Structure 1
Amino acid sequence: MLSRPLLALSGASFAIGTTEFVIMGLLPEVAESFAVSVPQAGLLVSGYALGVAVGAPIVAIATARLPRKTALLALMAIFLVGNLGCALAPSYGLLMLARVVTAFAHGAFFGIGAVVASNLVPRHQRTQAVALMFTGLTLANVLGVPFGTALGQAMGWRSTFWAVFGIGLAAAAAIAASVPSGLPGSFGGLAGEFRSLRRWEVLRPMLVSVLASVSLFCVFTYITPLLRSRSGLTPGEVTGALLIFGIGLTLGNLAGGRLADRRMSATIVGGFAGLVAVLVLFAFTSRAAWPAVMTLPLWGALVFALVSPLQIWVVEAASDAPNLASTLNQGAFNLGNAAGAALGGAALSLGFGYGTLPWIGAAVAAVALALTLSGRVGVASPDGEGAFDAAPAARG
């Protein structure tokens, strides 16, 4: 299944994922550089996520009728301009602006890229193809975030954004060289496509996607200070812990794609149930270094086992508007990122300790599980006849 176009898409997702997540490992350095608090620096995560959420529908409309390859290259150009701005930003406000500019490329790239990836393989391998594209995002946590964090700590946080700019430039060149040019944009009316997205069977998986991200980011946004202050890890040990977390993300992402192509509902329901349990466990294991580090890969695996199944669930539920639905679901994920970062920051500002954050994440994941079980998890069957895989609660 692995091909040059999928590798190019994965390389671009690596660059995008690194610039999104690496800021979390650099929060103390950025806060010190601009003389702001760590929770205020954490708003750079929220700002990026809100940029994705707001930018996704805008960019979806702007690129709707462009050939898919042209749209992907235009989005990579926006990404490069944004990262250049991050590397050069002289103030906290301008860094926030540059992050938002970068974020405008994010939702549409993953949305369009997921549809392109799913069209490059047989129908029964669609979720695995999307998972392979998202492997770049998980490898950003295995390689990009730990090494970007180490680079930023050693040579200043701006050096990390210069490195991401170079990776993004190489990824754009690979897309130009390998992604097929014959994939058209939307030929339908945008008003009709937006109307199709108002159906509850489309909105429900998008809401589940929001809650999945809230559960992750209310904890992960503050993972560096949590591991330093609560678990007792040194800055260098935090880098190693993030590497281990990223390995879990990568393995979970690939496993989730493979499992979901066989049983979508079981993968999503089981993923959320496991996520609740692991976050409750992390509330206790985070009190000490080694138990905390050992919990991280399991948490990461469960989180990213859900990403490609949720994406395909939305695309299949909105089969008459797949490009738009896929892009908007990326906005939904990142709306959850912003809400999660803000929720975690609010808890810290109110005086709750870092140990409270995993409990909040578990509670949100439990709500997502309940919403998933409230109806059918629908995907088209491999034979293309549109059969649905019913969630356990809906079988009767």
Structure 2
Amino acid sequence: MKKYAYIGSLGLIAVITTEFGIIGILPQVAEHYKISIDKAGYLLSAFALVIALTGPFMTLLTSGIDRKKIMIASIFMFLITGIVSSFSPPFWLLMIVRILPAFLQPVYIATALSVAVSQADENKKNELMSIVFNGVTIAMVTTVPFATWISGLFSWEYSFMIQTVVSLIALVVIQLMLPSIPVKEKKSYGSQLTILRKPLFILSTLTNFFMITAWFSTYSYFADYLSKAKGMNTSMISYMLLLFGVIGILANWIAGKMLNKNVAGTTAFFLSGTILIPILFYVSDGNLWATIIVIGIWGFLYSPSFLNASTYMISSAPHALEFANSLATSFGNLGVTLGTTLGGWIIVTQGAQYIPWIGFVFGLLAFSMMIVRSLIEKRTRELSTC
């Protein structure tokens, strides 16, 4: 049902506003706590690392619980995080409350996707998944840039207040509009874990990991990169986030349609941005309008990355959707952690202008994994016809 997909999307807006809303205010947070930008980046990378390490286990542990209860518990944790963070607590406490909802983030995403496609025809599932994942791009076009803009007008704490309001709205909607969805048949842990032995799934996982590492080495420092390398102020950066998100909504819709026809081709098309964007940023140099055009292209090619990564992984394990999705979320967030860590290190040691080239390297690695998977699939088809 599309209704369930839209409810899942709303919750994902709350999740993404909390996880990535920090990106636009990292320089202000670093200044407030008198720490370096790479240390402030821990607020994003630590969140992502917890997801990476615990996501699959949490999804397996909660696989027998009513889907509505899981979604409510997850969003409630994000609500608490926003409330506490808005009071600018000591940095150690801010780090703790940032980490806590990370334990349930992959559980929410996997649950929302499984609920969205639970009653759908096979040829409609990717489209419904794209509706849920549109929560990511909608957050990028509305709440994330709005929170950044508000923080520029007042202070960074207001960004967390926006996150709190979004989480509260999502919590109320899920409670009122989503029916109780008990699990009728819980799959055994063993049946789900078998996908870990499939070479195609392992290659798809590595593709996901390298792809997200490539994108987030730069995207995690969106504000810092545009400020230091392109000379933009906070207000201009919030407009760039808005542009990024508006184009991203269109990109997600197009990707959903394309994935229904060709999963590997669609993934490769959008992955090409990891190679293209560093070159375009280098060519644009200090030209403002050229930079704005590159940011638009960046938003288009980046925005469906989580949708593409999840769909690409699920295509190699269609019978374990939730577990495969939790692994996609976990390895994606492991990519966020590595990308954020490498990006912060490059900024401190070399300069912000060099971080897009990290994406170039990891983009090539992601493409190499796709090529190997394609060759194995081709070989398997040839053997099956013999």
1:377 and 1:301 map into 2 onto residues whose CA distance is: 28
Alpha-carbon deviation of 1:186? 5.7
Distance 2:321 2:166 in 1: 29
For the 8 Å contact 2:43–2:95, the answer to whether it is kept is yes
Distance 1:176 1:365 in 2: 40
The 2-side partners of 1:108 and 1:312 are apart by 17
Distance 1:273 1:49 in 2: 24
Contact 2:228 2:353 in 1 (8 A): no
1:223-275 per-residue CA deviation (whole Å, 9 max, x = no partner) reads 21221122121221111111111122211111111101011121112222243
- 2:355 alignment partner in structure 1: 357
Corresponding position of 1:27? 26
Whole-Å Cα distance in 2 between the matches of residues 39 and 102 of structure 1?
A: 22
Residue 371 of structure 2 is aligned to residue 373 of structure 1: yes
Contact 2:217/2:358 (CA < 8 Å) preserved in 1? yes
Deviates more, 1:270-279 or 1:121-130: 270-279
Name the amino acid aligned to 2:135. Answer: G
Map of 1:227 onto structure 2 = 226
DSSP-derived class of the 1:36 partner:
coil
Distance (Å, rounded) in 1 between the aligned partners of 2:379 and 2:152? 48
Alignment of 1:176-195 (within 5 A): 176-182=175-181, 184=183, 187-195=186-194
> Separation in 2 of the partners of 1:112 and 1:389?
33
Superposed, 1:25-104 pairs within 5 Å as: 25-104=24-103
CA offsets 1:94-149 (integer angstroms, 9 cap, x no match): 11111111222211111221222222432112111111111111111111111101
Q: Superposed, which structure 2 residues align to 1:295-334 within 5 Å?
A: 295-334=294-333
Instruction: Indicate conservation of the 8 Å contact 1:233/1:289, yes or no.
Output: no
AA at the equivalent of 1:354:
A
Residue 385 (structure 1) aligns with: none
SS of aligned partner of 1:197: helix
Q: 1:226 to 1:196 in 2, by over 3 A?
A: closer
CA contact (8 A) 1:127 1:309 kept: no
- Structure 1 residues 286 and 189 mapped into 2: Cα distance closer, same or farther (>3 Å)? farther
Could you list the per-position Cα deviations for residues 61-98 of structure 1 after superposition, in whole angstroms to 9, with x for gaps in the alignment? 33111122222122122222222232235211111111
Deviations 1:173-209 (A, max 9, x none): 2122333434526622214422332322222212211
1:336 partner letter: G
Aligned-pair identity in percent equals 24
Q: Which residue of 2 aligns with 1:216?
A: 215
1:129 and 1:286 map into 2 onto residues whose CA distance is 39
For 1:234-383, list aligned pairs within 5 A: 234-350=233-349, 352-376=350-374
Structure 2 unaligned spans of 5+: none
> Superposition pairs for residues 108-127 of structure 1, below 5 Å?
108-127=107-126
- Checking the alignment, whether the CA contact within 8 Å between 1:313 and 1:377 is kept in structure 2 is no
Deviations 1:335-387 (A, max 9, x none): 1001000011111222x122211111112111111211212399xxxxxxxxx
Shift of residue 45 of structure 1? 1.2
1:17 aligns with 2:16: yes
Q: Is the 8 A contact 1:212 1:368 kept in 2?
A: yes
**Residues of 2 paired with 1:153 and 1:186: CA distance?**
50
1:285 Cα shift? 1.9
Residue type of the partner of 1:84? Answer: I
Q: Is the 8 A contact 1:72 1:112 kept in 2?
A: yes
Asked if the contact 1:73–1:176 (Cα under 8 Å) also holds between the matched residues in 2, the reply is: yes
Deviation beyond 4 Å, 4+ runs, structure 1: 388-391
Report the alpha carbon displacement of residue 6 of structure 1 after superposing the two structures with TM.
2.0
SS in 2 for 1:261: helix
Query: Alignment partner of 2:41: what SS?
Result: helix
Give TM-score, length-normalised by structure 2: 0.92
Structure 1: runs of 5 or more not aligned: 379-387
Structure 2 distance, partners of 1:137, 1:327, is 16
Q: Distance in 2 between matches of 1:36 and 1:186?
A: 50
State the partner residue of 2:163: 164
Structure 1 distance, partners of 2:82, 2:100, is 9
Q: 1:377 to 1:309 in 2, by over 3 A?
A: farther
Give the superposition deviation at 1:300.
1.6
Taking a change above 3 Å as real, the CA distance of residues 262 and 323 of structure 1, as seen in their structure-2 partners, is same
Taking a change above 3 Å as real, the CA distance of residues 246 and 295 of structure 1, as seen in their structure-2 partners, is: same
CA change 1:167–1:356 in 2 (3 A) is: same
Instruction: Return the alpha-carbon distance in structure 2 between the equivalents of residues 85 and 71 of structure 1.
Output: 22
Report the count of equivalent residues: 381
Distance of aligned partners of 1:185 and 1:14 in 2 relative to their CA distance in 1, 3 Å threshold: farther
One-letter amino acid of the counterpart of residue 369, structure 2: L
What SS class does the counterpart of residue 281 from structure 2 fall into?
Answer: helix
**TM-score of the superposition, structure 1-length normalised?**
0.90
Distance 1:87 1:319, change over 3 A: same
Q: Report which stretch shifted further, 121-130 or 276-285.
A: 276-285
Kept after mapping to 2: 8 A contact 1:79/1:105: no
Whether the 8 Å CA contact 1:230–1:354 is kept in 2: the answer is: yes
SS at match of 1:203: helix
**Per-residue deviation, 1:286:** 4.8
